[in-house]
């Protein structure tokens, strides 16, 4: 059980529109990871849907690259949708 891979767990809550990362766990395979996620992360009625993904399949950005990746966006406030009126029909923005 020492060599069980790490899985990342994402839960969609009752009112949520998207899955949110809630934590990680160990399991022998995806099927067990799903059961474990149910037992570890939805005990208090937190979710209506679970995603599990083996952590090694996630490609993460390097914290070292933080400035190059994100700094350029910080002074471009015109990219925020606050400069025009949203039509009423548009939900979830």
Partner 1 sequence: MQEFTRQSILILADNLMILGQRLGEWCGHGPILEQDIALTNIALDLIGEARNYYQYLAETEGKHEDDYPMLRDAREFKNVLLTEQPNGHWGDTIARQFLFDCFHFHLLEHMVASSDQRISAIAKKSVKEAAYHLSFSGDWVIRLGDGTEDSHQKIQRSVNKFWPYWMEMFTPTEAEQHAIQEGILPDLNKVYEAASSKLESVLAEATLIKPEGQHSRKGGKEGFHSEHLGYILAEMQYLQKSYPGASW
Q: Which residues bind partner 1 (CB under 8 A)?
A: 1, 4, 25-28, 31-32, 35-36, 39-40, 43
How far are the Cα atoms of 12, 55, 58 from residue 61, in angstroms, in the given order? 24, 14, 10
Taking the least distance from each CB to partner 1, the nearer of 32 and 53 is 32
CB of 33 to partner 1, least distance (A): 9
Residue nearer to partner 1 on the CB measure, 44 or 75: 44
Closer CB to partner 1, 35 or 61, in the complex: 35
Closest by CA to 55, choosing from 1, 10, 17, 13, is 10
Instruction: Supply the minimum distance, in Å, between the C-beta of residue 32 and partner 1.
Output: 7
């Amino acid at each position: 059980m020492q060599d069980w891979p790490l899985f990342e767990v994402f839960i969609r809550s009752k009112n949520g529109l998207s899955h949110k990362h809630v934590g990680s766990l160990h399991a022998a395979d995806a099927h067990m990871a799903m059961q474990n996620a149910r037992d570890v992360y939805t005990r208090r009625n937190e979710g209506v849907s679970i995603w599990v993904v083996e952590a090694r399949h996630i490609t993460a950005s390097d914290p070292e690259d933080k400035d190059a990746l994100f700094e350029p966006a910080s002074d471009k406030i015109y990219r925020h949708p606050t400069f025009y009126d949203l039509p009423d029909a548009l939900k979830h923005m």
